[in-house]
Structure 1
Amino acid sequence: MRRLLLTLALLAAPTFAWAVESSPQQRAVEAVMADSAKGWNAGDVVRFMAAYSEAPETSFVTEEGLVRGKAAMIARYNAKYNLADPAKRGVLSFQSVDFRLLDAAHALYIGQWSLTYPDGKSAKGYTSLVMALEKDGWRIVADHSS
């Protein structure tokens, strides 16, 4: 009987979820991603792309292939999306899935992106980003999004 009461007491006891606190580096990268989404949501491609490094080797892998350099990426976004039209661009958000430091100046960020449209439609996918700590903060140096 004691064993039954102890088991019932343990089952009825509150459970606690132990959250893993994110690192300062993760919070800084997430802030960069949140600001990038704000740029998209405002139709501001320059603010959206501020998350990317100015380095010429910065890359973006798309279903069409590899795009190199921030200027080429901006041209692609301008050609593929109508950022001026909120109904066509949707509202972008990111949710962190994984984050790990690769070394003191590089990190891997994996997130889920989500676009919601005024007509109720939505799209989701994943992004794997290699981030580099540059003089102005964390910047994307390699992007593979699907």
Structure 2
Amino acid sequence: MKTLRLFLIASLMLSATSGFTQKNADEKAILKLLQKQEADWNAGNVNAFMEGYWKSDSLAFVGAKGPTYGWNNTLENYKVRYPDRAAMGTLKFTILRLNALDKNAYFVIGKWHLTRPEKGDIGGHYTLVFRKISGKWLIVSDHTS
């Protein structure tokens, strides 16, 4: 009986540790994606930056002018608003909160700042919803102000 109890306790601990390890791996993958987006933006590559978004007509982006739906529409809006390196500036993300909603969804709150010597700095906050789609974490909803 004592052996069975020890086995059950060890199994529960292993199960809890396994879930914690997966959560850490998912969080690291999401943070890595955001770091890559920051680097791609700072390299002036909007197309590579957009690889972090879900390539779907169902992608939702909400900005100052209201919602935009679809990956292509979101890309075109970025290109209109940030037509050159001076407008793009240097991007810095600051993560304020990273929470799992379930095993395939995360919620991220953060700050963004563009340093733009020629055009003036701008910044704000964002709320992102990530989904694990085909084994890859992608932004499915972005509300940026």
Does TM, scored on the shorter chain, surpass 0.5? yes
Q: Given the alignment of the two structures, is residue 123 of structure 1 paired with residue 130 of structure 2, yes or no? A: no
3-state SS of 1:23 partner = helix
Structure 1 residue runs of 5 or longer lacking an equivalent are: 1-21
3-state SS of 1:31 partner = helix
Count matched residues: 123
Moved over 4 A (4+): none
Determine if contact 2:111/2:124 at 8 Å carries over to the other structure. yes
1 CA distance for matches of 2:37 and 2:135?
Answer: 15
Range that drifts further, 63-72 or 37-46: 37-46
Q: How far is 1:63 from its partner?
A: 1.1
Q: Which structure would you say has the larger Rg? A: 1
In structure 2, the residue matched to 1:135 is 134
In structure 2, the residue matched to 1:47 is 48
In structure 1, the residue matched to 2:110 is 111
Structure 2 residue runs of 5 or longer lacking an equivalent are: 1-22
In structure 2, the residue matched to 1:56 is 57
TM-score of the superposed pair, with normalisation by structure 1: 0.78
Change (3 A) 1:93 1:136: farther
Deviation by residue 1:7-57 (Cα, 9 ceiling, x = unmatched):
xxxxxxxxxxxxxxx822222111111111111111111111011001221
TM-score of the superposed pair, with normalisation by structure 2: 0.78
2 CA distance for matches of 1:129 and 1:145?
Answer: 8
Determine if contact 2:96/2:109 at 8 Å carries over to the other structure. yes
1 CA distance for matches of 2:117 and 2:144?
Answer: 23
Determine if contact 1:34/1:93 at 8 Å carries over to the other structure. no
Q: CA RMSD in A?
A: 1.7
Q: How far is 1:86 from its partner?
A: 2.3
The amino acid that maps onto 2:41 is W
Determine if contact 2:58/2:70 at 8 Å carries over to the other structure. yes
- In terms of fraction of residues, the more helix-rich structure is 2
The amino acid that maps onto 1:23 is N
In structure 1, the residue matched to 2:38 is 37
Change (3 A) 1:100 1:112: same
Determine if contact 1:129/1:142 at 8 Å carries over to the other structure. yes
